[in-house]
């Protein structure tokens, strides 16, 4: 019993992390139709920048905010310089973000080297939180789950309860009409891109605190984002949550019971979804 | 997009073969056995991608993975110092590798059959990386992260294919045959059906062709070509490890194809040459470790400013030098919708 609860909590932690990264990825795709292949690089960039700010100022929270802002700015810069010039050519946009990811990944490797970094989160996040049955669970992992819930709720409120959210939803449905009605669509696009990139940076600090920071994490989180949105459905917040949960559980239970073939479970899950609903479980056809 | 006339399409392969045969006469063993052989191997793997894109309009991230399936099959069926798998006679091992790679290609096509464009890109990347995690986590069969080491090319008719020149000859033969096959396929009814599938899939379906079968078949052929490259690559590096199928390998193959010109089959070899030369010369211009920085920047520039890669630039240049000549070509050239 204790084993299964622990395993489920671990799966929930991984799922939360995947959701934090994939929600931004999905949001950007929903409105801009851009597959941001640099999303994993944004995650890693956020982790490193957050680490630097946190160790310089001694404040983990400042690192968290600073990383989100810095990565949002980098995302904006990438959008303005590389993506906008390509207009609506989705494939070339995806390719150019791959190039950007290669460059950023290499610059990070040059600056931070191949060693693994470990955050020192504030005292309260250290240690374990007492819990029934399983006695205790690492606090930082509960923070990961909590922040995913917070971000999910925040995004839901933003999209469904604010005027900006109304513009975003309208833009997802029909960008041209929204523009024809006199709204500044470009501004909404920029906002969404910055938000999505910032979320990746935020996730970098949270993920880097719960796990660790090292080169290669960018690829891992880009891929988890891809699989999450393929399964959950592109551009859907609920889809990202559902996809992240399915992948998190498939991955952790797979690793526990069939360690040599764990990945096949995720793969089969993806194949099954593609066979039944190519647009993803909650994606719109 | 303009298609070059058939005569010109056929000539490049002839020139490739002739230039390839002449190369060992003028170049040192290092350039032949290490640089040129590598260009041909990477080019053959990338050819599987340029074939898919130029004929059927499909962009796949899975070709490095498919080549990896062939590479792992070969490694597991060959004598190795890691002590995994079962050693069988090498022709059997090569046959099995090509067969498994083709099957992997068919599987990729079958799974992604309802997706196109960027969705296809994402799904094939996800599949490719599933393979990476499978082989790196699986210690039972694939020996996990260390992979399978100590693989050697066999002897054929008394010629040791391990030696630089014979190995180069083998790679050249494989590359030329694959390229000729792809260019020939382009002119067959099947090739035309693939072009039609790229331009108007719904009309192809309405005419009674099975778009599903066409796509899966295209992926199967691409799988076979990638497997040829995969087998050579395994012999070339003497080992097979998860590094050959990781996300960088997948990205690099796409970079090579886009660099050379993904919408022309032979762009693969041009891209491979540029890639390998950059790799060799990046060391002297900028720190060797920073090769990715160079290749990433070059890739961005190509995507932004040269839609059809190096081959597109060459065509543009030729059009400017000899406008009258290309005018004739345009008249003879097959029109694409």
Into how many domains does chain A fold? Answer: 1
Which positions ≥6 away from A2 have C-beta within 8 Å?
A133, A134
In a domain, A225, yes or no: no
What pLDDT sits at residue B2? 46
What pLDDT sits at residue B10? 55
Indicate the pLDDT class of residue A38, thresholds 50, 70 and 90.
very high
CA distance A252 to chain B (A): 13
Grouping H, G, I as helix, E, B as strand and the rest as coil, residue B155 is: strand
What pLDDT sits at residue B330? 45
What pLDDT sits at residue B227? 95
Maximum pairwise Cα distance, chain A:
59
In a domain, A266, yes or no: no
The kind and range of the H/E element at B102 are helix B90-111
Within 8 A of A91 by CB-CB distance, chain B residues are 59, 117-118, 121
Q: Mean of the pLDDT values across residues A158-177?
A: 87
CB-CB contact of A281 with A228 (8 Å): no
User: Could you tell me which of A245, A109, A70, A77 has the C-alpha nearest to residue B290?
Assistant: A109
Residue B4 — φ and ψ, nearest 5°?
-75, 150
Indicate the pLDDT class of residue A123, thresholds 50, 70 and 90.
confident
Pairs of residues, one from chain A and one from chain B, whose beta carbons lie less than 8 Å apart: 112
DSSP per-residue string spanning B216-253 = HHHHHHHHHHHHHHHHHHHHHHSEE-GGGGSHHHHHHH
Q: Mean of the pLDDT values across residues A16-29?
A: 92
In a domain, A247, yes or no: no
What pLDDT sits at residue A255? 87
Among the residue ranges A104-108, A214-218, B27-31, the one predicted with the least confidence is: B27-31
Rounded to whole angstroms, the Cα distance separating A48 from A208 reads 9
pLDDT < 70 stretches in chain B = 1-11, 158, 287-288, 322-337
Residue A64 — φ and ψ, nearest 5°?
-60, -50
Interchain pair A35, B118: CB under 8 A: yes
In a domain, A227, yes or no: no
Rounded to whole angstroms, the Cα distance separating B198 from B337 reads 10
What pLDDT sits at residue B210? 86
A residues 125-164 lying closer than 8 A (beta carbon) to B: none
What pLDDT, in 10s, does the model give residues A9-22?
Answer: 999 999 999 999 99
Cα A207 to Cα A211, A213, B155: the distances in Å are 6, 8, 51
The kind and range of the H/E element at B24 are helix B6-26
In a domain, A226, yes or no: no
CB-CB contact of B126 with B237 (8 Å): no
Within 8 A of A103 by CB-CB distance, chain B residues are 292-293, 296-297, 300
CB-CB contact of B269 with B43 (8 Å): yes
- Confirm or reject contact between A95 and chain B (CB < 8 A): yes
What pLDDT sits at residue A108? 92
Structure token pair of residue A275: 């066979």
Res A205 pLDDT > 60: yes
What pLDDT sits at residue B323? 60
Domains of chain B: 6-332 (1.10.3470)
- Nearest CB to B123; choose among A94, A230, A262: A230
Cα B245 to Cα B114, B134, B204, B242, B252: the distances in Å are 24, 10, 34, 5, 11
Which positions ≥6 away from A67 have C-beta within 8 Å?
A46, A47, A49, A50, A53, A201, A202, A204, A205
Q: Which domain holds residue A134?
A: 19-215
In a domain, A11, yes or no: no
Structure token pair of residue A139: 């606090």
């Amino acid at each position: 019993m204790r084993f299964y609860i622990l395993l489920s909590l671990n799966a929930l932690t991984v799922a939360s992390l995947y959701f934090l990264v994939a929600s931004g990825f999905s949001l950007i795709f929903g409105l801009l139709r851009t597959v941001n292949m640099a999303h994993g690089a944004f995650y890693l960039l956020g982790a490193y920048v957050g680490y630097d700010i946190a160790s310089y100022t001694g404040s983990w929270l400042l690192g968290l905010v600073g990383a989100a802002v810095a990565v949002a700015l980098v995302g904006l810069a990438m959008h303005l310089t590389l993506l906008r010039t390509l207009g609506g050519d989705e494939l070339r946009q995806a390719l150019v973000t791959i190039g950007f990811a290669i460059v950023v990944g290499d610059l990070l490797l040059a600056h931070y080297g191949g060693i693994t970094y470990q955050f020192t989160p504030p005292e309260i996040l250290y240690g374990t939180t007492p819990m029934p049955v399983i006695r205790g669970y690492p606090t930082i992992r509960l923070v990961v789950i909590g922040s995913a819930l917070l971000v999910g709720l925040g995004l839901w409120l933003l999209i469904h309860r604010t005027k900006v959210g109304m513009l975003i939803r309208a833009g997802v449905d029909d960008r041209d009409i929204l523009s024809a009605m006199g709204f500044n669509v470009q501004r909404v696009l920029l906002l969404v891109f910055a938000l999505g990139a910032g979320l990746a940076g935020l996730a970098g600090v949270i993920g880097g605190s719960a796990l660790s920071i090292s080169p290669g994490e960018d690829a891992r989180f880009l891929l988890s984002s891809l699989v999450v949105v393929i399964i959950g459905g592109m551009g859907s917040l609920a889809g990202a949550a559902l996809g992240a949960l399915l992948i998190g559980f498939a991955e952790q239970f797979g690793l526990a019971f069939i360690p040599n073939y764990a990945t096949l479970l995720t793969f089969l899950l993806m194949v099954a979804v593609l066979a039944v609903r190519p647009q993803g479980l909650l994606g719109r056809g | 997009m303009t298609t070059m006339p058939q005569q010109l399409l056929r000539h490049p392969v002839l020139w490739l073969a002739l230039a390839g045969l002449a190369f060992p006469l003028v170049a040192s063993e290092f350039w032949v056995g290490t640089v040129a052989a590598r260009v041909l191997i990477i080019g053959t793997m990338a050819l599987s991608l340029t074939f898919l894109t130029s004929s059927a309009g499909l962009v796949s991230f899975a070709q490095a993975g498919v080549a990896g399936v062939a590479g792992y099959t070969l490694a597991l069926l060959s004598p190795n110092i890691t002590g995994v798998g079962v050693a069988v006679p090498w022709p059997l091992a090569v046959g099995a590798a090509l067969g498994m790679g083709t099957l992997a290609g068919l599987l990729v096509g079958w799974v992604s059959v309802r997706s196109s464009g960027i969705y296809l890109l994402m799904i094939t990347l996800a599949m490719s990386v599933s393979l990476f995690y499978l082989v790196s986590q699986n210690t039972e069969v694939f020996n996990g992260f260390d992979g399978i080491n100590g693989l050697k090319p066999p002897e054929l008719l008394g010629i040791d294919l391990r030696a630089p020149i014979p190995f180069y000859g083998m790679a050249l033969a494989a590359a030329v045959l694959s390229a000729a096959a792809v260019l020939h396929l382009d002119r067959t009814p099947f090739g035309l059906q693939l072009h039609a599938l790229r331009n108007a899939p719904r009309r192809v379906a309405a005419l009674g062709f099975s778009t599903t079968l066409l796509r899966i078949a295209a992926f199967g052929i691409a799988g076979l070509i990638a497997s040829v490259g995969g087998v050579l690559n395994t012999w070339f590096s003497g080992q097979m490890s998860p590094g050959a199928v990781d996300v960088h390998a997948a990205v690099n193959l796409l970079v090579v194809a886009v660099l050379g010109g993904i919408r022309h089959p032979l762009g693969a070899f041009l891209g491979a040459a540029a890639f390998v030369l950059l790799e060799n010369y990046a060391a002297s211009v900028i720190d060797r470790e920073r090769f990715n920085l160079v290749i990433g920047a070059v890739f961005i520039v190509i995507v932004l400013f040269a839609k059809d890669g190096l081959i597109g630039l060459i065509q543009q240049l030729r059009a400017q030098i000899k406008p009258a000549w290309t005018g004739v070509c345009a008249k003879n050239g097959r029109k694409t919708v």
